[in-house]
Amino acid sequence: MTAQTAGSPAEPLTLEQAWALATAHNKEIRMQRQQVDLSAELVKDRKSERLPRVTTGGSYAYLGGLVAYEPRAGLQNPERVAVPPSPHAYHVGLEADWEVYTGGRITNQIATQATNELLETERLALTASEVRLRVATAYLDVQRNREYQALTANNVKESERRLTQIRSLYKNGVVLRSDLLRAELQLSRQQLLLTEIGNTLTLTNQRLNLLLGAPEDQVNQLAPVSPAVVLDNAYADYLGQAQAKAPELRVAGLQTHLSELRLAATEVSKRPQVSLFSGYAYTYPNRLVFPNVSQIYSVGEVGVRVSYNITARWLDRHAEKAAEIGIERQRLGEEKVLDDKRQEVKTAYVRYQETLERIRIAEQSIGQATENYRIVNSTYFNQLALLTDLLDADNQLLQARFDLVTARTLAATQYYQLQKAIGLL
């Protein structure tokens, strides 16, 4: 990552580079990317259900003699009926089973898991978009607090210069001690404000680094963000882009499709199940004859197995009804997501235009506050104004500069919120 380190100047970190770093290293994105990989593997696992299943196994047993009891005698006077030819018995075999028709169960499972993979892919896009918006917000917050810091530091220097002048006037008996105390109090407040801004900057820089997957105490040199631009399109155009590209809407659509697949799965149990099977085994002793013969025999088999759940048509009706309700509920969810998207786009669109007006007003306010401070500063040191007027003018000028920085930061933030809302971030 590009960072500013002691003794080694670094290239500024642009917002686009910050997004690239977050895409590669952010933990939320990496977790969701792993979820996509997991879903892809589950699709392959479901497809393997179509392949034949081959199993092998064996057993060993130590046999005792067969003892019979007369019903009337109970457990007394047992009679040994037969003695096995050998106390040892074993069985080794190989079996194969292939489900050739499952009523669409495997096909439904594959389709469901494939839809889950698409769903997780869309969630990855949504997560990446949300992380990029948070990165942009943190990036702009760092820049805003650094500008606050620079403005406050300059204001502290101006207050120190003014305090020096007031001390000189106080020694000469020109101003009262109350003026000196007010000037010192003003300087103390500004120094405290500078400390608070520095602490806030440390926290916002940590937040940015955590989003980027960087060391939390790394200090980044940031490149300036492009100034606010006038929107070219109308609200309806942005809403159309959101409906076409926003991942939230695609996520809602895929969730509805999953509900439809769950309904289709309820039909599987109402259809016959057909499978082919075969096997071959070696067994000792030969138990196909009585008494058992001390010999190894082998036998193979091949056949078809058909089953049909007669009661499924009645027993599964509640599951079918639940699936139908789930579809209706999810369709309502799609409509709600669309309503939320309309509100999100409209809010970002209106607020962004509002921030452009804030910038215009803040720029005018700086000119007015600068001129007001110049006049009051001149009149105070000519003993034509009160110190409280001068300190108020100083505070108003600093606040006007803060307001301009805030308006520009807010405009950039609202712009990226609009880009995120329409699916372009």
Angle between helices 15-25 and 177-212 (to 10 degrees): 50
On whether both 88 and 150 belong to a single domain, the answer is no
Specify if 224 maps to a domain: yes
Q: Quick one: 181 and 250 in the same domain?
A: yes
Count of domains observed in the chain: 2
Query: What angle separates helix 387-421 from helix 105-171, to the nearest 10 degrees?
Result: 170
225: phi then psi, degrees, rounded to nearest 5: -90, 145
pLDDT at 135 over 50: yes
Residue 332 lies in a domain: yes
pLDDT at 2 over 50: no
% of the chain at pLDDT higher than 70:
92
Q: What tens digit of pLDDT does each residue of 193-207 get?
A: 999 999 999 999 999
Q: Mean of the pLDDT values across residues 355-369?
A: 92
Q: Provide the pLDDT confidence category of residue 296 given band limits of 50, 70 and 90.
A: confident
Average pLDDT over residues 392-420: 92
Q: Which two tokens stand for residue 387?
A: 């110190």
Give yes or no: residues 29 and 154 share one domain.
yes
Per residue in 40-95, pLDDT (tens digit) is 999 999 989 888 899 999 998 887 766 767 766 566 666 656 566 777 888 898 99
Q: Which domain holds residue 400?
A: 15-51+102-272+315-421
What's the gap between Cα 63 and its chain centre? Answer: 62
Closest CA to 207 of 216, 199, 198, 194: 216
Whether 5 is covered by a domain: the verdict is no
Give burial (CB, 10 Å; 0-12/13-18/19+) of 89. middle
Return d(Cα 393, Cα 373) in angstroms, integer.
Answer: 5
d(C-alpha 384, C-alpha 156), whole Å? 24
Based on the domain organization, do 368 and 391 belong to the same domain?
Answer: yes
Q: 10 in a domain, yes or no? A: no
Cβ atoms within 10 Å of 300's Cβ, excluding its own:
10
Q: Which of 254, 284, 307 is the last residue of a domain?
A: 307
Please state at what angle helix 15-25 crosses helix 105-171, rounded to 10 degrees.
140
pLDDT at residue 1, rounded to an integer: 42
pLDDT at 219: 86
pLDDT on residue 30: 94
Predicted confidence (pLDDT) at residue 8 exceeds the cutoff of 60: no
The alpha carbons of the chain give a radius of gyration, in whole angstroms, of 40
**C-alpha span between 113 and 115 (Å, rounded):** 5
| Judgement on whether residues 296 and 324 belong to the same structural domain of the protein | no
0.75 exceeded by pTM:
yes
DSSP state of 293: B
Query: Scanning the structure block, which residue is given the tokens 């990552």?
Result: 1
Residues 21 and 31 in one domain: yes
- Residue 316 pLDDT grade (very low, low, confident, very high; cuts 50, 70, 90): confident
Question: 24 and 65, same structural domain?
Answer: no
CATH classification of the domain holding 170: 1.20.1600.10
Q: What percent of the chain has pLDDT over 90?
A: 50
Q: Which H or E run includes 311?
A: none
Residues 214 and 263 reside in one and the same domain: yes
In a domain, 9, yes or no: no
Looking at the fold, whether 202 and 321 belong to one and the same domain comes out as: yes
Query: What pLDDT score was predicted for residue 84?
Result: 67
286 and 158 belong to one structural domain: no
- Residues 2 and 13: beta-carbon distance below 8 Å: yes
Tokens matching residue 242: 């959101």
Instruction: Show the tokens assigned to 371.
Output: 């001129």
Both tokens of residue 239? 């809403």
Helix segments in 246-288, DSSP class H? 247-265
Q: Looking at the domain assignment, is residue 282 inside a domain?
A: yes
367 and 353 belong to one structural domain = yes
For residue 115, is pLDDT > 70? Answer: yes
Burial class (CB in 10 A: 0-12, 13-18, 19+), 144: buried
Q: Are residues 253 and 122 in the same domain?
A: yes
- Whether 6 maps to a domain, the answer reads no
